[in-house]
Structure 1
Amino acid sequence: MVSLMIPLLCWTLCISSVSAEDEPKVTAKPGQDVILPCRSAENKPVIAVEWRRPDLGSQYVLLYRDEQLDPENQHPSYQNRVNLQDRQMKDGDVSLVLKDVATNDTGRYECRVQNEGSLDTKLISTVQLEVLPPDQKNFTAEPGATVILPCRTSDQKPIAAVDWTRRDLGKKYILSFRDGQFDFEDQHPSYKNRVALHDGHMKDGDVSLVLKNLTTNDNGTYECLVQNEGSGDRKLISTINLQVVSPGKKDGGSKDGSGGVTVGLIVGLIVGLIVCLVVAGILFLMYKKQSACFRKKTPDPVDDL
């Protein structure tokens, strides 16, 4: 019995490894539209399609049945963003179109199909979607200056909420705008009366942050998150690394200036050593010259008779 189980176990592991390797993987950048492929091999007509993400629980990414999309149990973050590539599902094509992807869309997607004459849906394929984080921008400014940290959403829908955060600040916001007004209750104290939106009307999706009277405490990585109307989640739009440094430290010196002091000290020591060697050489030559002159002027002693 044991001898039969070992080959069976090895076969199961082999099948699992092959299926994992064959699992399609789609990579995208924020704001792009993607197609997650899925095709049913059954010759019978498709009467229902389910797209799910296991980490979202019982809610669907997309549910298509009775020849129409069913939004009743759809996860809010996917509303008005998903569709079938071919509503006619020719040749069993039930691929998913996902628009305006965000980092929150990263995950494993399952495609299930119910064919005519079948009572249940069957898992046809799984697709791994990875949405890369936005490219990080670097900004350098001097203490006391005012900077504008850029952020713009490409979604055409009205903006319901904007949050600017720094992960090292915990749950406190740098700036939070929702329900048509600023939320000062959860704002970090160090940013009170120092921040604003570059465009209060947020035209063309501009939600850039104005930060005034900079200090070195403002150093950090800033994240811009936006929630559009009809969406259940905020999307990470932009990340910016801000460094506030004094003018004399922009040449790569250390923050406390110890790098410049160390270099100056080394150079001073070298110059001082060279001067000391030169002076010592001159004194030595003078000593030899004076010794020679003294020997010439001093008469030789007379021997006693």
Structure 2
Amino acid sequence: DEIDGNTFICSLYCIFVLGSQMEIYPLKWIKCVLRWYWPGAVQSPDTQVGCVFGGSCVLPCRFQPNGDTTLHWVKVNGKEVKVHRYSRDQDKDQDPLYEERTSLFHDQISGGNASLSLARVNLQDQGRYLCYTKNDQKTFVILTVRANVSSFTFSGAIYPRPQLTWSVHPRPATVLQNTTEVHEDDQGLYDISGSLRTVYSDTESTYSCSVQNEHSARKFTIRQHSKSLNPEGQQSEVKIDFQWWQLNGLVTLAND
């Protein structure tokens, strides 16, 4: 096989520089030799990627380009599933589960970018993926899926004039993006509505909306919880629990 300039320089560094310091850095020297003679023998740690349910995300992969570029993406949870294959400027066969949902960045492949774009993410997509090339360069990616509530509102007929506040546990509430509107109807009762866009990507946060006036106070909470699929492909679940207490009013929810 043809040897590119960067690989040749790395091999010289391995042989002469680390070789002369082998007693001081034995592990570095061994890894260097393995990478030079057996490129697939030393693997980097798995890359963790979190994707939002129903959205799109990118699974990163880079490789050292050579003359014949053949790229493979497979899912390796137990049974191997063909996700995407690229050869000679053409995308090839794949499992029906991934049809019309995967693509590569074709204009960047010649520069060593084999990252996979995955659209319309669902729970079945969770798991461990392998990106590899014809000369056995490998990258492993673990994909987990989360489902977040985007926004929600609280409204009702209340008297006296109420106030609305938001909080999130266990995170700081100072960065919450929220809006509140209070309207008085022709009977002198107040209607209050609020919306909040969740800003944290984790799935263990509890968002609380408190509505209160001088006579009473009520709280409305949304608790997000997502159990991710583990790398071995076991049980998966996405669950959102709703709890609310009305203040002479109506609770409505909206997902963006």
Q: What's the TM-score once normalised by structure 1's chain length?
A: 0.39
- Which structure shows the bigger proportion of residues in helix conformation? 1
Higher strand fraction (1 or 2): 2
TM-score relative to the length of structure 2: 0.46
Instruction: Determine which structure has more spread, i.e. the larger CA radius of gyration.
Output: 1
